[in-house]
């Protein structure tokens, strides 16, 4: 089955290590978040995983119980000379409803909460400004977590690039905004 997803514009870019940065984005099932961000010019890689919980190296089944504290999250490695952190956060607001607590569309549970997890305190200031400015765009308050990344564990291989491998797979993200 041919994929209905847009092509990835990053496949021919030679990324320089010194220009790479990381940010971690959560917003419902990681399949759509991963597929969407992987198609943004300047994203070297996007990896599905589990962030900011209490259990070391959790499995998908454990995360789904809601007892590990993890959220389905995507590690985004991007080239800061091509793509800014501001743009990455702006994109987040195009594909996630930041006012829904512990859910996105049909995805319900604490593992589906929305979050933006940073590595550097300077990034927090940038993220907070954007989140604050977006507040006026919504009737309800934004409940997206903005926190320093505590931990991240890569999800099982079958979750990586899931929508590329399963073009008809479930996804709550609207790719028409790409």
CATH (domain of 91): 3.30.1060.10
Residue appearing with tokens 């291989």: 157
The pLDDT tens digits of the residues spanning 106-116 come to 999 999 999 99
Residue of 47, 50, 129 lying closest to 85 (CA atoms): 129
Structure token pair of residue 146: 């903005």
Nearest to 22 by CA among 149, 136, 131: 149
151 is known as an active-site residue: no
Domain presence at residue 89 = yes
Does residue 69 belong to any structural domain of this protein?
Answer: yes
The reported pTM is 0.94
| pLDDT tens digit sequence for 11-29 | 888 999 999 999 999 999 9
Q: What is the pLDDT of residues 51-107, one digit of tens each?
A: 999 999 999 999 999 999 999 999 999 999 999 999 999 999 999 999 999 999 999
Sole residue written with tokens 């789904």: 64
Active-site residue (options: 29, 64, 151, 171): 29
In this model, does residue 2 exceed pLDDT 50?
no
Residue 22 is given by DSSP the state: E
Written as six digits, the tokens of 35 are: 């597929």
Domain that holds residue 107: 19-167
């Amino acid at each position: 089955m041919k994929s209905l997803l847009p092509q990835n514009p990053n496949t021919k870019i030679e990324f320089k290590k010194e220009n790479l940065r990381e940010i971690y984005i959560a917003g419902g099932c990681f399949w759509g978040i991963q597929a969407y961000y992987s198609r943004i010019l300047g994203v070297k890689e996007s990896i599905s995983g589990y962030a900011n919980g209490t259990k070391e190296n959790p499995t998908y089944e454990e995360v789904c119980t809601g007892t590990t504290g993890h959220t389905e999250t995507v590690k985004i490695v991007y080239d800061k000379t091509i793509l800014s952190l501001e743009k990455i956060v702006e994109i987040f607001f195009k594909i996630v409803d930041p006012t829904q607590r512990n859910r996105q569309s049909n995805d319900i549970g604490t593992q589906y909460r929305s979050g933006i997890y940073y590595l550097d305190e300077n990034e927090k200031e940038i993220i907070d400004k954007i989140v604050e400015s977006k507040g006026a765009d919504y009737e309800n308050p934004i409940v997206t977590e903005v926190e320093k990344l505590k931990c991240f564990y890569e999800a099982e291989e079958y979750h990586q690039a899931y929508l590329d491998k399963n073009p008809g797979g479930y996804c709550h993200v609207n790719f028409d905004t790409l």
